[in-house]
Amino acid sequence: MKIPLAWLEQECGGPVDPAALLDHLHESGARAGLHADRVVEVLPPPELAHLGSLRGLAAEVRARNAAGPAPQRSAHQDSAPQRSAPPRSVPLPDGLALTAEDGLPGRVAAAVVRLPGEVRLPGAAADRLRAAGVPLTGTVADLAAYVGFETGQPLGAADAGGLDLTALRLGPAAPSDPADPAGPPPGALLLRAGERTVAVLGRDAPAAAVSADGRDTLVWAWWLDPAAAHPDPDGPPAVRGHDPGSCDRAVARLSELVTDWAGGTVTAAGGAGAPAPAPRVLRPDPAELRRLVDPDLDLATLAALLTAGGAVVAPPEEGRPLHVTVPAARPDLDGLPALAGEAARVRGYPTLPRRLPPSAAGPWPDRARLLRRGLTTAALRRGLQQVTTPVLLRAGEPLGAVGTAPAAEPVTVHGRAGLRAMRVRGSLLPGLLDVAGRALRRAGAAHVFEVGQVPRSAALGDESWRFAAVLAGAVAPPSLVEPRPRTAGFADLNGLLRTAAAASGHEAFELAPEPHAEFAAGASFTVRVRGTAVGRAGILSEETAALADAAGERVCCAELDLDLLGGPAPLPPTVRIPDPLPPPAFNVSVVVPEAVSAGEVLRAVARAGGTEEWRVAVKDLLQGGQVPPGHLSLTVRAEFLRTDDGPLREDRRRRREAVLRELADRGWSGR
């Protein structure tokens, strides 16, 4: 589709930068080029078919410029665009008998119109057609051309006087005669009136200039399935339309202009072929959309970005889901991630934040898992050894009640005879103290910790994660100052608790003096965080130390309930955006007299190579040797941006040869 920039600027209400427009189209995946007469030609992919029409392209430009949704204009308005009510939907009369075979990959919509006299387009509409190079005929062909440029949908027209309008049908073409090269290609879809072929779907033929003298005129529009259409391989590319309903909308728009601009009437209308799909309604969460695109986006801008792709967005309300009606032409917009990608595409990928926002989805990052990992790492770095102790304890275990809440009911085991005398541990301390007692007897020191689960009750799954640590024995070797090894004290335990507090995202723990059965008087504390008890810490009493085979030793213990700590806040994941690929470039070497400035050489290379001056630079300078006396050899590298879809090697060679010709014309030696 070729669209004059004058049309686009009038539709957008302001100037349009051609270079930026081409860059945006290329980023979107569309093929686009700019002609010398300020006409942009766009070949969009099937999923972005709206870019092939004036309205769709203007909506895209407005949304990229944050100008809001498209302004609506009345049919007779020639001045600058003004906001008004949405255009009315013209009801089309029935009565046109149009049939089609089942399963055809196409659709046709048609109408019979009657024009009383010459068609005179409004001034702005006539200027648009002249800018596009369309000759004005004063017939329905002018209206068909205008609607075709406006919607990107091909339309046709023919005199209905010689057509059998009671036998209009859509069907495949019969095998053509090889001797008739002008015949339709095999598999093409034909619109027939009786035995007469009215149109070959896929051939972008202009509408016939039927005289506007009150006679009936048949107008039609077609759609072809991109996956099953068979255009003429020797002809121009097939114009397929947006979706099966696009041809019906184009005929309705043409009928509206027939009534409003030409004072004509529509006597009958109909359609046949692939059914027009109903639009889909999505209700995305605006907060999630903004989180994926840009948390600083306001709702109005977000709605404008979605509207640019053809979606209809109801007026947004803060705190409520958006109501987005997705047209059938955009099957790719099927959920919240696709809508976020569409908004980011229209807004422009370079404007996206370089760091992704934190994920709100589970299960990772899991705060409880982060807490367990942080505490384990902190304890290992302080020199403690991680152990895993048995879950089941004998009912008569001397240390079985250590660390267990006084009112807690022990969880007993029911099963085989050998397990009937077992109980599930109510704390991590009994197992740790058993390990610490053996370590003290053999090595004279015990620095151990464990991260494990402890049941709250006998209910299945009712468990809590705990962190427990035991410090006893030597913590530093003997020295000249201290001839005996320094043994663990409460200060060492307090330092471990400070490290644990930092790993759990808190500044420090509060140690409130409270008596606990297993700790000595004056060295028994409850660990609190903002007034909430999260564990206990202290020095074992002599009786409890004797039960752990550590009589006479100073044993420091602590146990924390991790479920009460909450865990640290998850850090947002960081993603490194790869650097963009460098633009293509070519190199030339030029020998110039010493009096010639390097700037003059760079300007000549940029002008002849079709690129900007700031993209051209001197990469090397040689003097003497094989360079003639009084001359300099400059190696120049020129980067450029692609303006067509041809082979890169051919484009580079063409630019370099143009530069060499320019250098030769100036009398300089280049290679």
Residues 6+ apart with CB under 8 A from 122: 75, 76, 77, 78, 261
Residue 520's nearest CA partner among 490, 495, 499 is 490
Is there a contact between 462 and 435 (Cβ–Cβ < 8 Å)?
A: no
Structure tokens that stand for 455 in this block: 């049941």
- Is pTM beyond 0.85? Reply is no
pLDDT at 340 over 80: yes
* Across 31-40, 326-335, 622-631, least confident range: 31-40
Per-residue pLDDT reduced to its tens digit, 528-582: 998 899 999 999 999 999 998 888 899 999 999 998 887 666 665 566 667 777 8
Q: What percent of the chain has pLDDT over 70?
A: 85
- Per-residue pLDDT band for 360 (boundaries 50, 70, 90) equals low
pLDDT at 229: 53
Compute the C-alpha angle 563/569/572, nearest 5°. 145
pLDDT at 39: 79
pLDDT at 187: 66
pLDDT at 180 over 60: no
Distance between CA atoms of residues 344 and 354, nearest Å: 13
pLDDT at 76: 39
pLDDT at 663: 92
pLDDT at 209: 83
Residues 6+ apart with CB under 8 A from 361: none
pLDDT at 465 over 50: yes
Q: What percent of the chain has pLDDT over 90?
A: 23
Distance between CA atoms of residues 660 and 670, nearest Å: 6
The secondary element (H helix, E strand) that includes residue 290 is: helix 286-293
- Per-residue pLDDT band for 53 (boundaries 50, 70, 90) equals confident
What is the bridge-based pairing of β-strands 510-513 and 519-529?
Answer: antiparallel
Distance between CA atoms of residues 145 and 158, nearest Å: 14
What stretches of 160-292 adopt beta strand conformation (E)?
Answer: 168-172, 189-193, 196-200, 216-224, 265-273, 280-282
pLDDT at 159 over 80: yes
Per-residue pLDDT reduced to its tens digit, 278-303: 778 888 888 888 888 888 888 888 88
- Per-residue pLDDT band for 228 (boundaries 50, 70, 90) equals low
- 184-197 average pLDDT score: 80
- Per-residue pLDDT band for 452 (boundaries 50, 70, 90) equals very high
Is there a contact between 295 and 245 (Cβ–Cβ < 8 Å)?
A: no
Q: For residue 461, with 0-12 CB atoms within 10 Å meaning exposed, 13-18 middle and 19 or more buried, which class applies?
A: exposed
Name the more confident of 669 and 357: 669
The secondary element (H helix, E strand) that includes residue 112 is: strand 106-114
Q: How does the average pLDDT of the chain come out, rounded?
A: 81
Candidate ranges 369-373, 391-395, 614-618; pick with highest mean pLDDT = 614-618
SS3 sequence of 530-568: CCEEEEEEEEECHHHHHHCCCCCCCEEEEEEEHHHHCCC
Residues 6+ apart with CB under 8 A from 54: 3, 7, 8, 11, 149, 150, 151, 152
Per-residue pLDDT reduced to its tens digit, 498-539: 999 998 888 889 999 999 999 999 899 999 998 899 999 999
pLDDT at 388 over 70: yes
- 262-274 average pLDDT score: 88
Is there a contact between 636 and 616 (Cβ–Cβ < 8 Å)?
A: yes
Name the more confident of 137 and 33: 137
- Per-residue pLDDT band for 78 (boundaries 50, 70, 90) equals very low
